[in-house]
Amino acid sequence: MTPLRASIVGVIASLVLLVIVLELVRGRRLKERYALLWLATGVLSAWRGALNTIAGWVGVETYPPAVLFAVATLFILLVLLHYSTVLSSLTDENVELAQRVALLEERVGRPSPSEPRVPEG
């Protein structure tokens, strides 16, 4: 593949990524805080000059796209950490809700499974 053709394919892939991310945000299937890094990734992969500049700041001058992969890896790790904290919080809330339901059922006098239920009304 020629360098020009590779650049064209990269730009097209970046534009497709940007459109998909914007559509996911518009449909409220992706939060804005996560979309920002995806949008930045799409822009950096399409705009080679910006990627080269950032790679120079970081000190990666042999292969600038490595910066893009490093940022993506960091983003994935941060998202995983965030999801782990959310999952831990939801687990604690689930236990508390189960305990509250058990207390309410005890207070109301829940019928045993062998007793027939009497329809209301």
pLDDT single digits (tens) 4-56: 787 788 788 888 988 999 999 999 998 887 788 778 777 777 777 777 888 88
Q: Give the pLDDT confidence score for residue 87 in this predicted structure.
A: 92
Domain boundaries, the chain: 3-108
Top-ranked range on mean pLDDT: pick from 21-25, 69-73, 82-86, 91-95: 91-95
CA 28 vs CA 1, 20, 24, 80, 82: distances in Å:
38, 12, 6, 20, 19
Does the reported pTM lie above 0.95? no
